[in-house]
Amino acid sequence: MREKVERILQQAQEGIAAAKSQQELESLRVSLLGKKGQLTALLRGMGELDPQERPLVGQMVNEARGQLEQLLKERRQELEARELQERLATERIDITLPGLPFPRGREHVLQATARAIERIFLSMGFSIAQGPELEWDYLNFEALNIPADHPARDMQDSFYVTDEIVLRTQTSPVQVRTMQQMTPNLPVRIIAPGRVYRRDDDVTHSPVFHQIEGLVVDQDITMGDLKGTLRAFAYRMYGPQTRIRLRPSYFPFTEPSAEVDVSCTICGGTGCRVCGETGWLEILGCGMVHPRVLKNGGYDPDRVTGFAFGLGIERVAMLKYGIDDIRLFYQNDFRFLRQF
């Protein structure tokens, strides 16, 4: 058995020294140490030996394995160094060649739409207000005239973090925060852009989307002021040919409330598939600030009035660019994003 091990070791040493490439060296390793290798076969055949011979033979084979593994490692390092030198001697990099062009980054369509909306309202004298995305349940609902048992909460399936903290379902809490910070100063004239969260997901709804809330509070604010502001916005966003209309609606935090439609941006108001042949597309909700919300914000509803509106940035972009699936905004598909 000793002679057999020494013969395998001698042949292996000669084969390792003669190996010309790493592939050839790997084939030799498998033939010696693999599952069906020569040394492995010796270990498997130890059961046929006399029990007294097994420890000695096992030690011999393991020592031979250790020697071979060391020889294979050293030869592999030699081959790697030689291959590297050969590659360095033959390869050349032409530094005069032009580099690969990188595509120029562009502003995301939602970000660009948000910036356009902000510019329009800033030009009207509004300022930008911010609020946290993790919001108190009180500010997200109760301060906006939506108590715990109010059916309007069913329209806003919410992500609760604790019993008192929720991922805000709207940017409307910024209304109350701003009024509480500014009271009793007048006028209040702000927009509040930001992300909001609702448990909803289909072609027209996303569990995370973007809103811009608008709020004006002052003496003698009327529904006419609201309509004029929204008309000016629609003209600037969709063009001077755009018409708007207000339809009665319901929101707990405004009274009276309205839905605002713009003339269809696809057919110009004549009727098409996109607008359901009506010539109108819904764009936002609005209304006069409810007296209870004014009071929660620290203002006297007998002395001041105000209006509020909320529009979805995704909705504005979909109407402006004729996009029919809100999920396209979040899929990072270059074919879609490059269009803008």
Quick one: pLDDT at residue 300? 96
Cβ–Cβ < 8 Å for 195, 133: yes
With a CB cutoff of 8 Å and minimum separation 6, the contacts of 51 are: none
Q: Tell me, what CATH number does 120's domain have?
A: 3.30.930.10
Same domain, yes or no: 114 and 85: no
146 shares a domain with 69? no
Q: What is the CA radius of gyration of the chain?
A: 37
Q: Is residue 104 part of a domain?
A: no
* Phi/psi of residue 92, nearest 5 degrees: -135, 140
Tell me what pLDDT residue 271 has. Answer: 84
Query: Are 27 and 79 within one domain?
Result: yes
**Domain match, 13 and 62 both:** yes
Select from 90, 124, 146 the last residue of a domain: 90
Shared-domain flag, residues 80 and 154: no
79 and 168 share one domain: no
Domain end position, chosen among 37, 62, 90: 90
Which of 90, 122, 157 is at the close of a domain? 90
65 within some domain: yes
Residue-by-residue pLDDT tens, the chain, 340 positions: 667 777 777 777 878 888 888 888 888 888 877 777 777 777 666 666 667 666 776 777 777 778 888 888 888 888 888 888 888 888 877 778 788 888 788 889 999 999 999 999 999 999 999 999 999 999 999 999 888 777 766 655 788 899 899 999 999 999 999 999 998 999 999 999 999 998 876 665 678 889 999 999 999 999 999 999 999 999 999 888 889 999 999 999 999 999 999 988 778 778 877 677 888 888 899 999 999 999 999 999 999 999 999 999 988 998 888 887 888 888 888 889 888 8
The three-state (H, E, C) secondary structure of 271-306, written as one string: CCCCCCCCCEEEEEEEEEECHHHHHHCCCCCCCCEE
Same domain membership, residue 195 and residue 124? yes
Give the pLDDT of residue 114.
Answer: 95
Whether residue 98 lies inside any domain: the answer is no
Output the pTM of the full model: 0.66
**143 shares its domain with 290:** yes
Same domain, 156 and 189: yes
In a domain, 95, yes or no: no
Please check whether residues 257 and 200 belong to one and the same domain: yes
pLDDT of 33 reads 77
Q: In this predicted structure, what is the pLDDT of residue 51?
A: 73
Structure confidence at residue 256 (pLDDT)? 96
**Can you give the pLDDT at residue 120?**
97
Q: What is the pLDDT of residues 5-49, one digit of tens each?
A: 777 777 778 788 888 888 888 888 888 777 777 777 776 666 666
Same domain, 139 and 271: yes
> What is the tally of helices (H) and strands (E) in the chain?
11, 10
- What span, in angstroms and rounded, lies between the C-alpha atoms of 261 and 285? 9
- Please identify which residue in the block is written with the tokens 């009276």: 256
Q: Which two tokens stand for residue 170?
A: 């709207």
| Helix H or strand E encompassing 123 | helix 109-123
Residue 96 is assigned to a structural domain of this protein: no
What pLDDT is stored for residue 1 in this prediction? 63
134-136 β-sheet, strand order: 134-136, 165-167, 159-160
**Domain, as residue range, for 55:** 2-90
**Can you give the pLDDT at residue 68?**
81
Return the pLDDT at 167.
93
75 and 123 share a domain?
Answer: no
